[in-house]
Amino acid sequence: SIRPGRDPIAAIADGIPAYDPRLFGIVVRHDVKDICTSRASCSINGQGSPGAFELRILIVDDSPRHLTMMVYELNKLGYATSVAHSGAAAIEAVANERFDVVMADIRLADMTGIELCWHLRTAQGLRHLYLILMIPGSMTDQFHELVEAGADEFLRKPLDWKWTAARLLAASRVVAMQRDLERLATTDALTGAMNRRRFLERGAEEFTRSRRYERPLSVVRLDIDHFKRDNDTPGPATRA
């Protein structure tokens, strides 16, 4: 645990797991009516933080005031943000764009945060989403239900921004590990090209997107002449 009075950001940057009995996760609201996106360099309070890198965060909330505050604070921390005003909009946004973290309020107009977590987990496929729920300070139970529905963390409102920054830094480590695992599972180790499994998945995604937006989709096949002769002479190790 963190020593009393110690800055949680510094503790996590030093590799010490942060723990606070009040906060097991992250809370944020996501809605995708207007997906307004803002980007900033990845830093903490204007200074680069060890282990941090740019995260794409989707904020889901039906309160314009809270959305504005969240975007402002997260941009100050250096994260790229998009917003959604309902659970349905958040689900659509995640289907069409790649996000690393979703911060959603547990109480949305069209569904609960728990329902949103379940929908996002069901549809996420190979790519892991780091889901943070924001819960009211009065909530004293349902913690097991939140995690069971798919939440990775939850934070109590009003958010403590030093603590939130520390938890996002910890989340960035999980996201980085997931990216490495995804790369190993979907690419050829020698060429770095997509493997057959990922090629078929990506093809299905693009075909679905093409039909949804009624846009043309093209496939180009390239054939290298006399490739076997080249392969037999210098060999794959030499080309790599």
Q: Pick the closest to residue 93 from 66, 67, 57, 140 (CA basis).
A: 57
Quick one: pLDDT at residue 43? 37
Give the span between the Cα atoms of 140 and 25, in whole angstroms.
Answer: 14
The one-letter code for the residue type at 38 is S
Quick one: pLDDT at residue 39? 41
Better-scored residue on pLDDT, 11 or 207: 207
Mean residue pLDDT of the chain comes to 76
Sheet holding 101-105, edge to edge: 80-84, 56-60, 101-105, 130-136, 153-157
Give the span between the Cα atoms of 59 and 10, in whole angstroms.
Answer: 25
Quick one: pLDDT at residue 31? 34
Quick one: pLDDT at residue 140? 66
Q: How confident is the model at residue 68 (pLDDT cuts 50, 70, 90)?
A: very high
Give the span between the Cα atoms of 80 and 75, in whole angstroms.
Answer: 7
Q: Strand, coil or helix: what is 20?
A: strand
Model's pTM, two decimal places? 0.63
Do 68 and 34 contact (CB within 8 A), yes or no?
Answer: no
Q: How confident is the model at residue 236 (pLDDT cuts 50, 70, 90)?
A: low
